[in-house]
């Protein structure tokens, strides 16, 4: 013992400083770890999106949410909505329309894209213990050099702090204890009333070996608790950035002419998509199952159709025997109706396009409410109402192109549209000749005695989409059929 | 100078505990105040910090703005997304604010393919990645319904950071040829967001 070097002031200062630093580090660790005992939530900050408020390696301690919602601009610890099982610590900036919390990293340029529910919030950031968890971050990121340097520094501090026990005293007070007893070798967590210091000859607690073990144990436990809590729940303060564009897709009001016609609830709709020239059944596309009847000859199917947006085909009638008839119309000839058909021809002998007659085949004894083409290609709409009432187009349409004719009658009178535009009207004719048995005739029926009577009752040319409505289509509806081509 | 007495040494030992306790209290208190005081709101843009930056080449225009789509209509367009942050990141694509009327989006098949080359103005030069090119393939309704945030977003692009990295996404649609008339006048509109988060 006597060979121990004596204390010097310089050495005393060094030892005291070293101990103070170690004690301070332990104090910080205690700040980081001990709040967990009262249910607070320490986490390691593992990325820098909350800079400059939170740094990587800080331990942030969050207190649990009270009954009140967190205040705006507080920093919240919450379950990361973008990465299951991880925590995020960002600032609470506002509440969105759905009542979710909008958060944002201070260093991010925009709010977090996914908003979080209040139930996902684990706590409000309250304590920040700077840098203390840096070793944890270094271990995670493999920065072994930094880790080694700090470890070496710590070892040096411990060395200096524990060097005291090799020193004796110059004063002549008899040593109260063994020469190396009174000085703890490792700093302890703050424990001011260390009982070991003053009284000699106490039991084991004051013996150096035990004290050392106790100190090491305390420091180890603290560091362990801190590391565990920090490792198990690192808080990611995430950087994020977005870039965006938009897309909008829209379909037209009607996919095609037939779709438009269908949407107006026709009594029948013959799309004339049959490919066989000997077919006699004309499929009704209205959904009403009113299958029409073709003449067994005098027609051929064609791919030249009026509506490029429609699937299917059109039918060419020969002008001498081909025709199409509907089954009997229930209730006979109506006074409110629309007749619609597409046509394409270069004929100079005209013919019936579409109209009512009281026979399904051959020439009907009674025939009116019909649309026919004259030899010059003009379109006529005629209704027998105490005499022949007609309205007509002034232009000719036997030009080899597809045209749409729509005739309507109702209490508002007669109207004739060609290619979507009204070409004639007669508001005073609102009823036709009563007929209890009635068929819609297409491409052929009697036209005798009508104004500008065509040479041929048969129409020679292509037809498509013959439809009969028990309503009068509006001008807008007619236009939309034409526009959907 | 007289060396320190036994008494001085003992006192020094006593002094350091309050000192250490006080110091740690001051450090934690100061740090906590500056970090969590509600009065402190930062404006972002911290220099010298790692960043995640993402841009695209659409100049603010829509990728698609199409009307009059009919059954069988189809088309595609490219958009080049550039990451220029300093941190490694994972980029996800997801839809935002998706709305559809008349169930149109269920009749739209939707594919997103990643590759290189091509740009917003033209897809010419676009080459799909040799593996993992398909980012999404399904119906538009499936895409806008399942990819709604970063966490369920699609894509596998992970720029390493530190240098500029560009990837082109080719987005293609087909309006099903069996789309019923009930989808006439239907619309589907949505935002497409690419989000990068540091990994």
Task: Give me the percent of chain A exceeding a pLDDT of 90.
Answer: 45
Over residues A246-275, the pLDDT tens digits come to 889 998 889 999 999 999 999 999 999 999
Which ipTM did the prediction report?
Answer: 0.78
- In this predicted structure, the answer to whether residue B41 has a pLDDT above a threshold of 50 is no
Q: Is the Cβ pair B198, A26 closer than 8 Å?
A: no
Establish if A146 belongs to a structural domain.
Answer: no
pLDDT at A230: 56
- Of A340, A381, A371, nearest to A482 by C-alpha is A340
Establish if A427 belongs to a structural domain.
Answer: yes
Query: What is the Cα–Cα distance from A462 to A62, expressed in whole angstroms?
Result: 82
A 148-207 near B (Cβ less than 8 A): 164, 169-171, 173, 175, 182-184, 187, 190-192, 197
Q: What are A127's two structure tokens?
A: 């304590």
Residue that terminates a domain, selected from A104, A133, A162? A133
Residue A484 half-sphere exposure toward CB, CA atoms < 13 A? 27
- Of A419, A273, A405, nearest to A341 by C-alpha is A405
Question: Pairing between strand A337-344 and A324-325?
Answer: unpaired
Is residue A428 domain-shared with residue A283, that is, in the same domain? yes
Is residue A127 domain-shared with residue A267, that is, in the same domain? no
Which residues from chain A sit within 8 angstroms of residue B182, using beta carbons?
Answer: none
pLDDT at A35: 82
Establish if A335 belongs to a structural domain.
Answer: yes
pLDDT at A467: 96
Which residues from chain A sit within 8 angstroms of residue B12, using beta carbons?
Answer: 12, 15-16
Domain that holds residue A332: 257-483
What is chain A's mean pLDDT, rounded? Answer: 84
Output the domain CATH number for residue A83.
2.10.109.10
Residue that terminates a domain, selected from A133, A165, A188? A133
Establish if A150 belongs to a structural domain.
Answer: no
- In this predicted structure, the answer to whether residue A406 has a pLDDT above a threshold of 90 is yes
Among B9, B21, B196, beta carbon nearest to A241 = B196
A-chain residue closest to B195, CA distance: A242
**Residue from A167, A244, A481 to probe the interface with B (highest B Cβ count within 10 Å):** A244
Establish if A415 belongs to a structural domain.
Answer: yes
Residue A60 half-sphere exposure toward CB, CA atoms < 13 A? 34
Q: Please, are residues A2 and A28 in contact by the beta-carbon 8 Å criterion?
A: no
Output the domain CATH number for residue A467.
2.60.120.200
- Comparing A36-45, B1-10, B111-120, the range with the smallest average pLDDT is B1-10
pLDDT at B127: 94
Q: Is the Cβ pair A240, B79 closer than 8 Å?
A: no
- In this predicted structure, the answer to whether residue A229 has a pLDDT above a threshold of 70 is no
Query: How sure is the predictor about B170, in pLDDT bands with cuts at 50, 70 and 90?
Result: very high
Q: B70: which residues sit within 8 A by CB, 6+ positions away?
A: A251, A252, A255, A256, A309, B175
Please provide the distance, in angstroms rounded to a whole number, between the alpha carbons at the two ends of chain A: 113
Task: Give me the percent of chain A exceeding a pLDDT of 70.
Answer: 85
Is residue A266 domain-shared with residue A410, that is, in the same domain? yes
Tell me, yes or no, if the pTM score tops 0.80. no
Q: Tell me the mean pLDDT in the region A210-220.
A: 70
Query: How sure is the predictor about B12, in pLDDT bands with cuts at 50, 70 and 90?
Result: confident
Establish if A30 belongs to a structural domain.
Answer: no
Q: Tell me the mean pLDDT in the region A115-119.
A: 89
Is residue A126 domain-shared with residue A264, that is, in the same domain? no
Query: What is the Cα–Cα distance from A353 to A189, expressed in whole angstroms?
Result: 105
A 247-276 near B (Cβ less than 8 A): 247-256, 259, 262-263
Residue the block writes with tokens 């170690």: A22
A 11-40 near B (Cβ less than 8 A): 12, 15-16, 19-20, 23-24, 26-28, 30-31
Q: Tell me the mean pLDDT in the region A17-31.
A: 83
Establish if A274 belongs to a structural domain.
Answer: yes
Q: Tell me the mean pLDDT in the region A306-312.
A: 90
Over residues A156-187, the pLDDT tens digits come to 888 887 776 666 665 544 444 444 444 444 44
Total domains in the fold of chain A: 2
Q: Is the Cβ pair B41, A242 closer than 8 Å?
A: no
Over residues B97-147, the pLDDT tens digits come to 999 999 999 999 999 999 999 999 999 999 999 999 999 999 999 999 999
- In this predicted structure, the answer to whether residue A200 has a pLDDT above a threshold of 60 is no
Establish if A437 belongs to a structural domain.
Answer: yes
DSSP H or E run through A253:
none
- In this predicted structure, the answer to whether residue A197 has a pLDDT above a threshold of 50 is no
Residue that terminates a domain, selected from A118, A133, A148? A133
What is chain B's mean pLDDT, rounded? Answer: 86
pLDDT at A3: 53
């Amino acid at each position: 013992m006597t060979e121990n070097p004596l204390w010097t002031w310089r050495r005393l200062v060094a030892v005291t400083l070293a101990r103070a630093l170690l004690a301070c580090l332990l104090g910080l660790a205690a700040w980081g770890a001990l709040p967990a005992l009262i249910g607070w939530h320490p986490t390691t900050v593992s990325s820098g999106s909350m800079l400059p408020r939170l740094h990587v390696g800080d331990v942030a301690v969050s207190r649990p949410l009270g009954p009140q919602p967190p205040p705006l601009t507080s920093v919240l610890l919450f379950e990361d909505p973008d990465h299951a099982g991880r925590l995020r610590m960002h600032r609470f900036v506002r509440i969105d329309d759905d009542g979710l919390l909008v958060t944002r990293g201070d260093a991010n340029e925009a709010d977090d894209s996914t908003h979080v529910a209040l139930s996902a919030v684990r706590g409000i950031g309250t304590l920040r213990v700077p840098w203390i968890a840096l070793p944890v971050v270094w271990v995670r990121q493999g920065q072994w050099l930094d880790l080694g340097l700090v470890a070496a520094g710590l070892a040096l501090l411990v060395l200096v702090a524990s060097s005291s026990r090799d020193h004796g005293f110059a004063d002549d007070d008899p040593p109260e204890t063994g020469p190396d007893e009174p000085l703890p070798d490792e700093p302890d967590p703050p424990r001011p009333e260390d009982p070991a210091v003053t009284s000699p000859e106490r039991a084991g607690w004051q013996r150096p070996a035990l004290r050392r073990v106790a100190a090491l144990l305390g420091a180890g436990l603290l560091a362990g608790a801190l590391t565990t809590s920090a490792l198990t729940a690192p808080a990611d303060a995430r950087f994020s950035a977005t870039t965006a564009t938009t897309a909008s897709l829209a379909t037209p009001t009607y996919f095609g002419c037939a779709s438009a016609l269908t949407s107006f609830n026709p009594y029948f709709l013959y799309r004339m998509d049959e490919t066989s020239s000997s077919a006699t059944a004309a499929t009704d596309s209205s959904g009403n199952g009113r299958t029409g009847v073709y003449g067994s000859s005098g027609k051929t199917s064609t791919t030249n159709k009026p509506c490029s947006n429609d699937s299917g085909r059109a039918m060419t009638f020969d002008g001498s025997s081909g025709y199409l008839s509907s089954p009997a119309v229930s209730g006979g000839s109506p006074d409110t109706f629309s007749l619609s058909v597409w046509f394409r021809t270069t004929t100079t002998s005209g013919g019936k396009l579409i109209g009512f007659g009281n026979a399904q085949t051959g020439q009907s004894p009674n025939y009116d409410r019909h649309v026919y083409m004259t030899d010059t290609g003009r379109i006529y709409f005629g209704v027998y109402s105490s005499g022949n009432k007609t309205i007509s187009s002034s232009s000719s349409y036997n030009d080899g192109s597809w045209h749409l004719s729509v005739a309507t009658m109702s209490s508002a009178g007669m109207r004739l549209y060609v290619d979507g535009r009204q070409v004639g009207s007669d508001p005073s004719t609102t009823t036709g000749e009563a007929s209890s048995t009635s068929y819609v005739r297409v491409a052929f029926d009697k036209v005798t005695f009508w104004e500008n009577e065509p040479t041929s009752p048969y129409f020679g040319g292509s037809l498509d989409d013959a439809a009969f409505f028990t309503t009068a289509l509006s001008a807008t509806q007619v236009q939309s059929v034409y526009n959907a081509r | 100078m007289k060396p320190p007495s036994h008494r001085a040494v003992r006192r020094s030992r006593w002094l350091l505990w309050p000192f250490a306790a006080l110091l740690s209290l001051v450090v934690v208190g100061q740090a906590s105040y500056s970090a969590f005081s509600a009065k402190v709101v930062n404006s972002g843009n911290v220099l010298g910090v790692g960043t995640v930056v993402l841009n695209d080449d659409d100049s603010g225009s829509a990728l698609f703005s199409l009307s009059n789509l009919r059954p069988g209509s189809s088309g595609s367009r490219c958009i080049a997304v550039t990451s220029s942050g300093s941190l490694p990141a994972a980029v996800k694509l997801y839809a935002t604010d998706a709305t559809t009327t008349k169930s149109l989006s269920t009749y739209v098949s939707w594919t997103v393919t990643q590759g290189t080359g091509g740009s917003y103005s033209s897809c010419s030069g676009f080459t799909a990645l040799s593996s993992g090119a398909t980012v999404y393939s399904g119906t538009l309704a499936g895409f806008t319904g399942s990819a709604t945030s970063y966490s369920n977003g699609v894509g596998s692009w992970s720029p390493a950071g530190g240098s500029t990295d560009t990837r082109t996404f080719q987005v293609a649609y087909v309006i099903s040829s069996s789309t019923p008339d009930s989808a006439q006048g239907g619309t589907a509109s949505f935002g497409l967001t690419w989000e990068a988060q540091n990994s």
